[in-house]
Amino acid sequence: MVDFDNWDSMQENYRIYKNAGAIFLFDQGNDVNGWSGPDFLKLRAYLQSKLMWNTELDFESLVDTFMTDYYMDAAPKMREYFDYMCARNKTFRDKAWVDVMRHPEYYTKEYLDKCMSLFAEAKDAIAHYKDTDLALYQNLLYRIKTEECSSQFFLCSFYSSYYTADEYTAMIDDFESAIQHMKYGDQMIWSNWDIDQGNYAWMGLSITDIIARWRVHRYVPVA
């Protein structure tokens, strides 16, 4: 659920390996076995496949090409979200990657609301396909919602009290639907926050387990 922030080091790392004489590189990924998830996994695989063959390609042009081909009409807003996410990530690089899941200050309500606004605009941009090409619309919507899941996850985890009970339930339902589509429900979360004591014990829990905890967690609205 957390972006793995190596976007601006990926290309330079490949150059280092090439200059050191490497002729083979195993680049680990997690878009396998029929499931996917947020963190722009498809973009990451695209960039890896391009840059490992030619380390001098223009990184930004590659990102733009992918966005246009993969998100079509939603590309401008998805690119804006990608840039916004990358810029935000640079503000907490002194922290361990997994640790950011434990602290709401890294996923502020303001940041997440901005992300959700960009996703809403991306969805609006493809809405016209509902009437002209429903299959294409559903594919594009799924691609957008795959990235949206990260923001929904942290809104449900950290900010449930900002919503009415019905709004919160609807958000969980929407998140769960996308997770099921991605076959992501059995993936384990690495973190350590006890929900029953006001924080979450995510270490060793699946996404499905966490959703179940959300549904029974005591709801306390903001005054």
Average pLDDT of every residue of the chain: 83
Residue 60: what pLDDT? 97
In a domain, 210, yes or no: no
Percentage of the chain lying above the pLDDT 90 cut = 50
Could you tell me if 38 and 3 are in contact, meaning their C-beta atoms sit under 8 angstroms apart? yes
In a domain, 8, yes or no: no
Residue 28: what pLDDT? 72
In a domain, 19, yes or no: no
Q: Which tokens hold the place of 125? A: 């941009």
In a domain, 208, yes or no: no
More confident position, 222 or 56: 56
Distances (CA, A) of 89 to 10, 168, 212: 15, 27, 29
Whole-model pTM?
0.85
Residue 107 exposed, middle or buried by CB count within 10 Å (0-12, 13-18, 19+): buried
**For 9-23, what is each residue's pLDDT tens digit?**
999 999 999 999 998
More confident position, 159 or 206: 159
Nearest to 115 by CA among 77, 69, 63, 142: 77
In a domain, 3, yes or no: no
The number of folded domains in the chain is 1
**For 39-54, what is each residue's pLDDT tens digit?**
898 999 899 999 999 9
Residue 55: what pLDDT? 94
**For 163-217, what is each residue's pLDDT tens digit?**
988 999 999 999 998 888 776 545 555 444 444 444 444 456 778 888 888 888 7
In a domain, 79, yes or no: yes
In a domain, 197, yes or no: no
Q: Residue 110: which domain range?
A: 38-177
Percentage of the chain lying above the pLDDT 70 cut = 78
Nearest to 102 by CA among 210, 2, 218, 169: 2
Residue 198: what pLDDT? 44
Most confident of 5-9, 114-118, 219-223: 114-118
In a domain, 108, yes or no: yes
Rounded to whole angstroms, the Cα distance separating 203 from 201 reads 6
Residue 199: what pLDDT? 47
Residue 31: what pLDDT? 57
